[in-house]
Chains A and B, each alone.
Chain A
Amino acid sequence: AQTVTQSQPEMSVQEAETVTLSCTYDTSESDYYLFWYKQPPSRQMILVIRQEAYKQQNATENRFSVNFQKAAKSFSLKISDSQLGDAAMYFCAYRRTQGGSEKLVFGKGTKLTVNP
C-alpha cells in the first residue's frame, strides 16, 4: 500500500522569506501523480501544485515550486516570498495512474505559520 509521510507537523516562516515543506512517499509503482494541497483554517482544501512522476522537470506555480526526487521518493514544496495568506495546513498527496485506485493518499499535514 502506498504511504505518504510528512515529517514536519509544524513549520513557521517570516513574511517574505522562503520555506520548504518535506514529503516522502512509498510506492512500488513507476508512474503516479503527486500533489500539494492547502487547507486554510475553516476553509476548503485547494490544490497548490501537481507533479507527474514521468516528468523530470519540477513543477512551478508562481511562488510555489517542488523538488521532486523520484529515486529518493521525495517531493518537497518550496514557498518563496511567503505571505500571510499562505498560513494553512499543507497536505502532500499521492495518486496512482490509471488502472488502479483513483483515490488520493494523503500525509498527515504540516501546519505553516507565517509571522509578520
Chain B
Amino acid sequence: DTGVSQDPRHKITKRGQNVTFRCDPISEHNRLYWYRQTLGQGPEFLTYFQNEAQLEKSRLLSDRFSAERPKGSFSTLEIQRTEQGDSAMYLCASSLFQGSGADTQYFGPGTRLTVL
C-alpha cells in the first residue's frame, strides 16, 4: 500500500514535553497538508507545503508549533512545551498539484496525541 503514512500512530506525553510527528506522503505528491482534529469536530487546517516551501500557516499554528519538509518529501510537525489543549488527532494529507484545478487531498491515518 503506498498511501499516506504517519508515525507514530499514538503518542502520550506529559505537559511541557516536546513531541515530533512524521508524515510520509504518497510518492510524487508535491503538496503536503497538516490538519488537527479534536473530538466531535471536523479537521482544522494547520499548514501546507508545496515541495519544500511552506506556503500557508493557520493562526492555529502558534509559536510552539513548527513544521518542516526539508527535501520536499516527508514532513515533520513538532510541538514544543505541550499543553493539555494540544491533545488531538493530527492528520496529514498529500496531493498532486498540476497547476490548475483542485488537487484531491489523500489523508493518512493520523497521530493521536494525548497530553497528560
B56, CB-defined interface residue at 8 Å? yes
Query: 0/1 per residue, A35-54, Cβ < 8 Å to B?
Result: 00100000111110010100
Point out the residue from A37, A103, A109 that lies within 8 Å of B45, measured CB to CB: A103
Asked if residues A104 and B109 are in contact (CB atoms below 8 Å), the reply is: no
In the complex, the answer to whether B104 meets A47 with C-beta atoms within 8 Å is yes
Number of interface residues of B (CB under 8 A): 25
* A103 touching B48 in the complex, CB below 8 Å, given contacts A44-B109, A91-B43, A108-B41: yes
Min C-beta distance of B25 to chain A, whole Å: 13
Residue of B nearest to A6 (CB): B42
Q: Which of A61-69, A80-88, A94-102 contacts B (4 or more CB under 8 A)?
A: A94-102
Q: Please report whether the interface of chain B is mostly helix, strand, loop or mixed according to DSSP.
A: loop
Cβ contacts under 8 Å, A105 to chain B = 45
- Most chain A CB within 10 A, of B45, B105, B109, is at B105
Binary A-proximity of B11-29 (CB < 8 A = 1, otherwise 0) = 0000000000000000000
Is the pair B91, A45 in contact by a Cβ cutoff of 8 Å? Answer: yes
Bound together, the chains give a CA A98 to CA B35 distance in angstroms of 20
A-to-B contact residues, CB < 8 Å:
4, 33, 37, 43-47, 50, 52, 91, 93, 95, 97-98, 101-109
18 additional A-B residue pairs with CB within 8 Å, beyond A50-B104, A93-B42, A102-B56: A33-B102, A44-B107, A44-B109, A46-B107, A47-B104, A47-B106, A98-B100, A102-B33, A102-B55, A103-B45, A103-B56, A104-B33, A104-B35, A104-B45, A106-B42, A106-B43, A108-B40, A109-B40
